[in-house]
Amino acid sequence: MENLKQAIEAQRRRLESLLHDPLQAIARQMPAVWPDREALDALLQQNMTQIPEATFMYALNTEGIQLTDNVARSGLLPEHFGRDRSHRPYMKQVVPADGFLLSEAYISLLGRRPSLTALQLVRDSDGKALGFLGADFDLRNLPDSAPLYEETTEWRQIKGDPSIRGTLFLQSRVESLMDRDMDAVLSILEELFTERGVFQLVLHFSSSRATVWTLDDPYRYRILTHEALSNPDTCLAFPHRDYPPDAQIPGDAMGEILANLKALRFADETIYLRSSSINLFNGMVSLTFSCDGSHYMTWKEFLDRSMDFWIGSAG
């Protein structure tokens, strides 16, 4: 999760730098008319263009009670005057020393949309806190200034349904159609990966099906049932494509990866592989066992582990 957290924090810092100065400038004008509702409404309307990304702006007293209407670019929403916002997530965070706070994202009450709020403390000429200037933002309206975060390649283990783990030793593997034709299935899958443009696979051993994504049509998946997976003619339905040069998994490793999946499927009658996924560009393999526990790792880590490790780790 570190990559995701770092990307979120970087974007928050960009938003803080964007919003800090405009909100502070507006807040400096507010003590002169505090707490006059109409005057504050008018002041916020005049300054709405300073923060065009905001959905609403409003003033709150130190108790979190709204002193103004909700001020939007389209006009005033008077039904929010007197609203108690003290229970909202952004009012429970500690305001930093400079008086500016950008909240954690939350789900809005009215639109049920991912949102965040910026608060700027309003002080009088003696430095006494009068209340807050608040600005609500729909995440859709905020500028995108950061690239998509990179998914980590660190080993991750995720526990599954506790009810399945609790009954693990009361169950055993039931032979599926795919199990009976495993060698043919894996040969066809290797062909699809290395010669036919498949770059992502989710393989469901117990239900004898696979979901695949191709270089030619990456936004749509295709479902291959056991009938297709066990028939070499299926390869003819996928045009020949050179193995992608930027794939993180070498083409000559695919046979060994698939062979190891087979070994995990048949290694134990209680702790066995239920499903797996492979992505050439992530360079990742995932495994979900009969205990409903899942592992995500690089293809090299997958091949480096012994069978004893997997059975013990899954259990």
Does residue 310 register a pLDDT over 80?
no
Give the rounded percent of residues in the chain with a pLDDT score beyond 70.
92
pLDDT mean across residues, the chain:
88
- Phi then psi for 204, rounded to 5 degrees? -105, 100
Confidence of residue 141 (pLDDT cuts 50, 70, 90): confident
Q: Region 131-160: what's the mean pLDDT?
A: 79
For the chain, which residues make up each domain, given as ranges? 2-141, 156-314
More confident site: 307 or 282: 282
Does residue 10 register a pLDDT over 80?
yes
* pLDDT at residue 160, as a whole number: 60
More confident site: 175 or 173: 175
Confidence of residue 6 (pLDDT cuts 50, 70, 90): confident
* pLDDT at residue 175, as a whole number: 84
Confidence of residue 315 (pLDDT cuts 50, 70, 90): very low
pTM: 0.73
Does residue 25 register a pLDDT over 50?
yes
* pLDDT at residue 20, as a whole number: 92
Among 138-147, 206-215, 216-225, 269-278, which is the least confidently predicted range? Answer: 138-147
* pLDDT at residue 2, as a whole number: 66
* pLDDT at residue 35, as a whole number: 94
* pLDDT at residue 64, as a whole number: 93
Class for the domain spanning 2-141: alpha beta
* pLDDT at residue 85, as a whole number: 92
**What is the per-residue pLDDT across 56-112, written as a single tens digit (0 to 9) for each?**
999 999 999 999 999 998 999 999 999 999 998 888 888 887 899 999 888 888 788
Among 104-118, 158-172, 279-293, which is the least confidently predicted range? Answer: 158-172
Task: Report the distance separating Cα 115 and Cα 102, nearest Å.
Answer: 11
* pLDDT at residue 164, as a whole number: 55
DSSP per position, the chain: -HHHHHHHHHHHHHHHHHHHHHHHHHHHHSGGGTT-HHHHHHHHHHHGGGSTT-SEEEEEETTSBB-SPEEETTEEEGGGTT-B-TTSGGGGSPPPTTSEEEPPPEE-TTT--EEEEEEEEEE-TTS-EEEEEEEEEEGGGS---SPPPPPP-S-EEE---HHHHHTGGG------HHHHTHHHHHHHHHHHHHHS-EEEEEEETTTTEEEEEESSSTTSEEEEEHHHHT-GGGGGGS---PPPTT-SS-GGGHHHHHHHHHHHHHS-SSS-EEEEEEETTTTEEEEEETTS-EEEEEHHHHHHS-HHHHHHHH-
Task: Say if residues 210 and 189 touch (Cβ distance below 8 Å).
Answer: yes
